[in-house]
Amino acid sequence: MHESLFIALEGGDAAGTTTHCHLLKGFLESKGFKVYLTQEPSSNKIGILVREFLKNKDIPPTTDALLFAADRDLHYRNEIKKKLDEGYIVISDRYIESSIVYQSVQSDNISVDWVKEINKFVGLPDITIILDIDPKIALARKETEELEKFEVSSFLNKVRNLYLTRAKDENYYIISSDDIIEIVQDKIQTLVINKLKNLS
Ligand code: TMP
């Protein structure tokens, strides 16, 4: 049996985390690994509520932060940990860094440390990959879709800067997502395969 591995893909809106999580899952399965793909907000009841709140500008950032933390707590206990224990590679499309970055840039009352504190009961990923994207490219990619409350250029710039600072502080991998999908995915695959080789 292969060892389990917990991978989180992170990044600003339209960085392509969802596309790259799916492609990575297919790639790892083709190599014979058992892969469980999940996302946050999760598909549990709290996650569904949080997704609804993403369209509502009247929800305070503190409420968002607490609900994202509750969603993650349940998601980790009931899904992620179970799958890791069964020997799966778990890929999460967004995880704790999304809360640290998105919630703390919204309000001076929300510090990175407070977000970490309310999320302290969940397990952390073995690999966190930040897909870095220029907000101008991100918004151009989103042009035809309905925008959620976080998808405004000035906000996305703050998100980008904090992701990059966090990556430096925590030694996360940063991959530019301004390139075409194939190049970005190739870099992600190389990184994950190297990590798996080091485990075996
Ligand atoms: P997505 O499904 O397109 O990735 O959108 C999810 C949105 O939710 C995205 O704008 C980031 C935001 N988000 C947070 O603000 N905090 C979190 O903890 C998570 C997981 C997502």
Measured from the Cα of 96, ligand 1's closest atom is: 18
pLDDT tens, per residue, the chain with 200 residues: 457 999 999 999 999 999 999 999 999 999 999 999 999 999 999 999 999 999 899 999 999 999 999 999 999 999 999 999 999 999 999 999 999 999 999 999 999 999 999 999 999 999 999 999 999 888 888 765 666 767 778 899 999 999 999 999 999 999 999 999 999 999 999 999 999 998 87
pLDDT at 142: 75
In what order do the strands lie in the sheet containing 127-132? 35-39, 89-93, 5-11, 127-132, 173-176
Tell me the one-letter amino acid at 166. R
Q: What is the C-alpha to C-alpha distance for residues 140 and 38, in angstroms, rounded to an integer?
A: 26
Residue 61, token pair as written in the block: 């950032």
Number of domains making up the chain: 1
Q: How wide is the angle at C-alpha 183 spanned by C-alphas 5 and 151, nearest 5°? A: 80
Q: What is the CA radius of gyration of the chain?
A: 16
Full residue range of the structural domain in which residue 35 is found:
5-199
| pLDDT of amino acid 157 | 94
CA of 2 to the centre of ligand 1 (A): 30
Q: What is the CATH number of the domain that holds 53?
A: 3.40.50.300
pTM confidence score:
0.95
User: Would you state the pLDDT for residue 140?
Assistant: 85
Using DSSP, state whether 110 is helix, strand or coil.
coil
Ligand 1 binding pocket, CB closer than 6 Å = 13, 40-41, 54, 68, 94, 98-99, 102-103, 148, 150
Which residues lie closer than 8 Å to 92 by C-beta, 6 or more apart? 6, 7, 8, 9, 21, 38, 39, 40, 80, 125
Residue nearest to atom 13 of ligand 1 (CA): 98
